[in-house]
Structure 1
């Protein structure tokens, strides 16, 4: 029987553990100030998880990052990923997130703080097409699809490589779509001294 080998896949992790905001966290998030962003609103603070009111949430996110790096990527214990920027997004009716990725970051994430009600999903896009042709398929799968989306589920965290292109279509509901996003970077010993690529970050 032939073997199908998925070479170099983009690992998107839908975390099994979900996070439920406490009453205190909900109250803090309701009072957050926002500024204009491309197609939507973002919190004025880009270090929102450093707020003491969200320390438990930050610890939850950091645990999921560790699960991704240790259980999936099998990173050496001398390497750590830490959260750099973190911010809230708010998309009201007809607001959206344009196609983008996250430069200067290794792993990014989105935590849904609202869900249901037909809120628009996050969509991930293939950067390089499987073939340089526009082909028709009888069925879409992970090998031929150019786009994959995930519906907002309250409390669900999705982790993905920061280079992965993604967007959110316009919100056609009367509900507000709220998410937490964050970026990460490497801390520790990377490279190899013998290969003259060693670097301490």
Structure 2
């Protein structure tokens, strides 16, 4: 998908899914939502991976290991890139909540070359409902002759998505009555 790239993989965290979900809801009880691209919904602080001895440390290590392997293949490197995580945060989108177009451009404090999301709980359990459940990730990029093109990705539980941090992207509204839980992150390659 052009230079913005969309790398999709899976992480099987079924054994700790409940613990991750409980950890996110516990963080939600402790703090108010940060307002960023979220239109409604809850957005945690950016340092979940820094909470000592937490399930988020385990998740961060899994994300780093898998991302390093995926980017090694994508970049055709002989060695896996040494990645550092600068931010890890959770999002809970209730019915009609969404994320407006944004990117994760690096700043002096939070360097970022690659961004991504892990989908913890995003699927509709109502198999009889054929209406779109929403929550699609849309990545925008310039196509031929500068025409803006969109790449739509329908998330599935356990998926890990990686894309360039400067890629403009958004999340469509959640059309279900079920909380949609995702964990986002920013990474950079240490030289």
**With structure 2 as the length reference, what TM-score do the two structures score?**
0.78
Alignment of 1:1-80 (within 5 A): 9-20=3-14, 22=16, 23-33=18-28, 34-37=32-35, 38=37, 39=39, 40-43=41-44, 45-51=45-51, 52-54=53-55, 55-75=57-77, 77=79, 80=82
- Residue segments in structure 2 that go unaligned for 5+ positions in a row: 107-111, 125-132
What's the TM-score once normalised by structure 1's chain length? 0.74
Q: Determine the C-alpha separation between the residues in 1 that align with 2:172 and 2:102.
A: 12
Separation (CA, whole Å) in 2 of partners of 1:132 and 1:28: 43
Pick from 145, 149, 155: which aligns with 1:131? 145
Task: Measure the CA separation in 1 of the matches of 2:184 and 2:23.
Answer: 16
The answer to whether residue 84 in structure 2 is matched with residue 82 in structure 1 is yes
CA-to-aligned-CA distance 1:139-164 (integer Å, 9 cap, x gap): xxxxxx81111112111100111111
Q: Answer whether contact 1:91 1:178 (CA < 8 A) is retained.
A: yes
Root-mean-square deviation over aligned CA pairs: 2.3
Unaligned runs of 5+ in 1: 1-5, 134-144, 189-201
User: Which one of the candidate residues 93, 99, 124 is aligned to 1:97?
Assistant: 99
**In structure 1, distance between residues paired with 2:181 and 2:119:** 7
Could you tell me how far 1:79 is from its partner in structure 2? 5.3
CA distance in 1, matches of 2:13, 2:152: 21
Aligned 8 A contact 2:122 2:182 in 1: no
Q: In 1, distance between residues paired with 2:10 and 2:177?
A: 28
Task: Give the length in aligned residue pairs.
Answer: 169
